[in-house]
Amino acid sequence: MQKIMGDASTVVPNYLRGLAAAHPDLIEYDSEHRILVRRAPVAPGKVGLVSGGGSGCEPLHAGYVGLGMLDAACPGEVFSSPVPNAIMAATVRADYGGGVLYIIKNFGGEVMNFGLAAEILRRRGIRIEKVLVDDDASFPPELAARRRGLGATVLVEKIAGAAAEQGRPLDEVAALARRVVARSRTFGVALSPCTHPKTGLRTFDLPDGEYEVGVGIGGDRGHERRPLPSVGEIADVMLERVTVELGLQPGNRVLVLLSGLGSTPAIELYGLFAAVRDRLVTHGAEPVRSLVGDYITSLDSHGALLTVLHADDELLDLWDRPVHTPTLRWGA
Amino acid sequence: MQKIMGDASTVVPNYLRGLAAAHPDLIEYDSEHRILVRRAPVAPGKVGLVSGGGSGCEPLHAGYVGLGMLDAACPGEVFSSPVPNAIMAATVRADYGGGVLYIIKNFGGEVMNFGLAAEILRRRGIRIEKVLVDDDASFPPELAARRRGLGATVLVEKIAGAAAEQGRPLDEVAALARRVVARSRTFGVALSPCTHPKTGLRTFDLPDGEYEVGVGIGGDRGHERRPLPSVGEIADVMLERVTVELGLQPGNRVLVLLSGLGSTPAIELYGLFAAVRDRLVTHGAEPVRSLVGDYITSLDSHGALLTVLHADDELLDLWDRPVHTPTLRWGA
């Protein structure tokens, strides 16, 4: 297996150790509980934000810990949910008296383990709200329960994080997070599978000249396999269900997140972004904010996730507020 | 060929168009000359910084245009130097009366074409200084002329860019740039070749379980092919010549840049960073700044370039100053 790694059991802790060592001003790694915690000072009573999920989707979630975003992240093993104990340790660290918001991607294990942790900790007196992220537009509305949590997770973490930093109460922060989910849709494609570091196996086989349509994160196949078209047609495919589901109208302002899946070079990703943006503009939408790069990935898969948020003044204001994390960093 | 692209001739312009569209506040794309230019206001007489080189090494150089770094970048075709006309157009845009610094990686075509452009424009009255970047530690000192310009290019652009922004004169900015080159060394490894978008061919064949030692950017093979070891031994190999060449002593402060080559997932790259950092600390060096991610690449190659800068107070101060580019962004 062509990977830079040692024993497979060390892949996740080595990543977390490296991430914390590269950003000592922003985050701290608690190796006992395998969680990452923000270092920036916190105002008493600030709502705490916690997220987590299977590793392999870096920089999700550990790369988003810091001022203006998550207070703690709990990464599980590769493609496996964090255990309730890790979630509970992260929650205790993120509880400053104002309650804690869980940002949970719609994967069975995450929903279950965050749910368990919430149940136990609420009995101990910590106020906890949960927001479920299910922005995956590859499933039609009648299969909404199967919609995975994808790129909107990053947007929820940023926007709810900014609201929490402003000192807004838990119910308001949670409502904002839900609004971001409701106004976001994601569609993914993959030109390659990924290789699991434990097994050394590819998660599926894909012949050259074909691609998977409707993938998520976690190395699963999409809904359909098609001949690989040119970049413009890929953009059409990615945008089709996203624009319909959001009901995008001429004049609507949008935030576009185009994430590589882990081994997509920038030269391809920005080329795809140009094609996506052209089509949005032709449709009459106004792309007012853009983020292009590896923001939510699937190990070493080659492909992309397109997330579109139907923005408004409040969401854009929160988006623009300062953020100091390993991955997103802007503002004073 | 598994790439997100259209006709091969559109790959570079689509990338540049996408990059500029994603960062409209920072950069402007001049499609006629195929150059990128900064948008931030410039103080009269500021030294202008220009760099360029074969495409395929994104975000080099276009991703480093903006306040505190480059004033203009001229990307060539994939793995081909920009033509003199593009370099001249970039120079004219970057000339604010204080002269222009060319940051040239030690590749034949770049040296020649930047040299030609400088000759012509000096006759037209533009003051131009050139700095040659040749930080490649994979060639021994007796083959110094063959040392390629690698990761130090990013450090030179950042540090000289900050000095130019302070209003320092051309000779001082050039001297600083040369100091950064002299105090930096880079060593690269690759676990895969890359695939050229024009030919669809891999630049070499590499069996599973082996890796190339001493690669640069541009898809060439390294000096040697070895069985792929664990992450710690890769870190040893990368550090060996770098530390010797820099003469690193206990107590030396270092800036570490660890760049993926285009398809290296973060989970592997940060794991490698953890191993590199452990060894530097054991050696007695003090890693005071770190940058881990895709900062100089080789299309879709899997691998990494390790650059170490022997830092001092002045270089660190300049490193920390504000930078607003698509790729590096910090400070007010």
In this predicted model, what pLDDT tens digit does every residue of A145-168 receive, in sequence order?
999 999 999 999 999 999 999 999
Residues A170 and A190 both lie in one domain: no
Query: Which among A16, A195, A267 is the top mutation candidate for probing chain B, defined by the most B β-carbons within 10 Å of its own β-carbon?
Result: A267
Residues A38 and A178 both lie in one domain: yes
Q: Which of A253, A213, A210, A261 is nearest to A235 (CA)?
A: A213
Report chain B residues whose CB lies below 8 A from the CB of A261: none
CA A225 – CA B318 distance, rounded (Å): 50
Parent domain of A124: 10-183
Question: How much is the pTM?
Answer: 0.98
Residues B88 and B206 both lie in one domain: no
Answer whether A228 touches B (CB < 8 Å). yes
Report chain B residues whose CB lies below 8 A from the CB of A324: none
Q: Which of B4, B63, B209 sits opposite A191 (nearest CB)?
A: B4
Q: What is the pLDDT of residues B291-320, one digit of tens each?
A: 999 999 999 999 999 999 999 999 999 999
| Secondary structure (3-state) at B193 | coil
User: Would residue B321 count as lying in a domain?
Assistant: no
Quickly tell me which residue has 């370099």 as its tokens: B87
Average pLDDT over residues B116-141: 97
Residues B206 and B109 both lie in one domain: no
CATH of the domain at A46: 3.40.50.10440
Q: What is the pLDDT of residues A135-151, one digit of tens each?
A: 999 999 999 999 999 99
* pLDDT bracket for residue B328 (50, 70, 90): very high
Residues A222 and A302 both lie in one domain: yes
The proportion of chain A whose per-residue pLDDT surpasses 90, expressed as a percent, equals 99
Decide if pLDDT at A23 tops 90. yes
Answer whether A262 touches B (CB < 8 Å). yes
Q: How far is CA B78 from CA A176, B15, B199, in A?
A: 44, 11, 11
User: Would residue B220 count as lying in a domain?
Assistant: yes
Residues B158 and B193 both lie in one domain: no
User: Would residue A304 count as lying in a domain?
Assistant: yes
CA B114 – CA B50 distance, rounded (Å): 10
CA B18 – CA A77 distance, rounded (Å): 35
User: Final residue of a domain: which of A136, A162, A183?
Assistant: A183
CATH of the domain at B269: 3.30.1180.20
Q: Residue B274: how many CB atoms within 10 A of its CB? A: 25
Q: Residue A48 pairs with which residues in a beta bridge?
A: A100
Residues B259 and B154 both lie in one domain: no
| Secondary structure (3-state) at A164 | helix
Answer whether B313 touches A (CB < 8 Å). no
User: Would residue A40 count as lying in a domain?
Assistant: yes
CA A107 – CA B64 distance, rounded (Å): 38
Decide if pLDDT at B64 tops 80. yes
Residues A16 and A156 both lie in one domain: yes
Cα dihedral sign, B266-B267-B268-B273: positive
Whether the predicted interface score ipTM is above 0.90: yes
Put simply, the answer to whether B15 touches A292 (Cβ < 8 Å) is: no
Decide if pLDDT at B158 tops 80. yes
User: Would residue B275 count as lying in a domain?
Assistant: yes
Count the domains in chain B: 2
User: Would residue B32 count as lying in a domain?
Assistant: yes
Decide if pLDDT at B332 tops 80. no
User: Would residue A216 count as lying in a domain?
Assistant: yes
Report chain B residues whose CB lies below 8 A from the CB of A272: 4, 18
Name residues 165-224 of chain A within 8 A of B (Cβ).
191-192, 208-209, 211
Name residues 119-158 of chain A within 8 A of B (Cβ).
none
Q: What is the pLDDT of residues A162-202, one digit of tens each?
A: 999 999 999 999 999 999 999 999 999 999 999 999 999 99
B293 φψ region: left (φ > 0), alpha (ψ -120 to 50), beta (else): left
Residues A173 and A82 both lie in one domain: yes
CA B257 – CA B241 distance, rounded (Å): 16
Q: Which of B226, B66, B98 is nearest to B174 (CA)?
A: B98
User: Would residue A201 count as lying in a domain?
Assistant: yes
| Secondary structure (3-state) at B191 | coil
